Structure 1
């Protein structure tokens, strides 16, 4: 397809979150950004209507244009918010001008009358509460417990990419790096391509940079002594995150972006995005740090 690796990952994420659900459901696709005031005003309207229309086969998908620039460019998004209705992988209506509940409902009613959308919520999988339990353990920093939970779930769903990714992340958090590597390297190609595993790979890649205490201290001292040395700043940020000091890592990377966002082809911003993926985009720390990044980039 002529896509680079980042573009292929973006396509995979879009396929999972938008294209595949749209095969049976009507997906409201909202292009937004943290810094966009009108987007924040529209979000409650979209969420309320999507919830009310869930039993009619309507779901909401949100796409941050700062993080998914390739997908936004494919839709030729010029301003935000931009909102489309997607069915069976194709845009079927532009909902951007529907800024009130009544306007949005009217347009959705017209679409639902014409399209063979499947109604009713999909039944939750039995393993969903167990996955949530594992994610909670990860959020609390208990890697051993998370790994144990996901190992048990794996017995129920051995080919579930989300479960395997959770197990790998748990092992990484517990410092069991070699075991995590063995699991990833032993996957069949089809399962290895599961988009959930990208987060696990990011977590593993970052954890492999974990330094000894003396090395971290030396890198910290070098970064403090040479604030204009971007290589020294990046080396410390990598080591700090791998050592569990994500606040220091993020602060260093944000300062680098503020000083020279284009340095080394945007290496500081790329490292931040890798950290976001490894921690999880739904994590409160990630949300707060993303807001700081948007402020640095857009003022």
Structure 2
């Protein structure tokens, strides 16, 4: 699978974070401390964290430290704005913000409360939680429009968990966004039959299908001219919308599809509405853009 997209430092950071934080957090409570050499408060807090972690070690607590200057990529995923920033991590997820706790007693009180509620040492029933923070990281990069980097992240996750549909689907969508359609097709073709019906794979398949509609520049210009010459040419407008989707212009595509629906919602057996719903699925039904565009669609259909 493709591994392009991450810098060497980012690849190393993801691997080290997986080994140093995510993996042990499957059965332990990890105190995750974001710090830097130049940070005075960090140096004051370090011995407190080390002492508390040592005293709670037999209860399943450990300390992990992230130097924000050396691991900017990881720090950015946790949206660290200032340091020290300290989280309690369990099974790959932040379960408490410990930043405001600066004394042994304050930290101990919070840890005691967490240890009463969490099944520390009980193991993990669902191994997929092991990669959940990395999946979120990949989706975040994908949402920023960086297909190359997202492909690298999802490729690493898929190597770690080849049977995880979200990882494989994310890789395919990232390859599509990066305009690596042959690689995306190969990845989709390699999906096991048992995984093919998973929503994450179906979403990726839809993204690939929409991307294949991308015309060359001359075809796109011809479609624009056809629509300009005859605004009622629904087929030309539909083809133009398909081309815009393939090019990543979701706003322009939605505008043209909504125009068709407003003029004739049943045109071509509802093709414009079906295309728009496919776009919603690819972008993500929880996405704010989808919600806003869905409201426009509802206003046309039912307003």
TM-score normalised to structure 1 length: 0.58
Aligned residues of 2:196 and 2:202 also touching (Cα < 8 A): no
Deviation of 1:284 after TM superposition, in Å, equals 1.4
Alignment: residue pair count: 179
Cα RMSD, aligned residues only: 1.7
- Stretches of structure 1 that go unaligned for 5 or more consecutive residues are 1-120
1:102 aligned residue:
none
Once residues 139 and 154 of structure 1 are traced to their aligned partners in structure 2, the CA distance between those partners, rounded to angstroms, is 19
Say which one has the larger Rg.
2
Deviation of 1:213 after TM superposition, in Å, equals 1.9
Deviation of 1:122 after TM superposition, in Å, equals 8.2
Aligned residues of 2:203 and 2:282 also touching (Cα < 8 A): yes
1:251 aligned residue (255, 264, 275): 255
2:206 aligned residue (177, 202, 207): 202
Deviation of 1:193 after TM superposition, in Å, equals 2.1
TM-score normalised to structure 2 length: 0.57
Deviation of 1:123 after TM superposition, in Å, equals 9.2
2:177 aligned residue:
173
Once residues 187 and 126 of structure 1 are traced to their aligned partners in structure 2, the CA distance between those partners, rounded to angstroms, is 21
Once residues 257 and 272 of structure 1 are traced to their aligned partners in structure 2, the CA distance between those partners, rounded to angstroms, is 10
Deviation of 1:144 after TM superposition, in Å, equals 0.6
2:225 aligned residue:
221
> What's the secondary structure of 1:271's corresponding residue?
helix
Deviation of 1:276 after TM superposition, in Å, equals 0.6
Deviation of 1:214 after TM superposition, in Å, equals 2.2
2:187 aligned residue:
183
Report the more deviating stretch, 247-256 or 282-291.
282-291
- Stretches of structure 2 that go unaligned for 5 or more consecutive residues are 1-124
Q: Tell whether 2:269 aligns with 1:265.
A: yes
The Cα offsets for residues 223-273 of structure 1, whole Å up to 9 and x where unpaired, read as 121111111111111111111221111001001111100111111100000
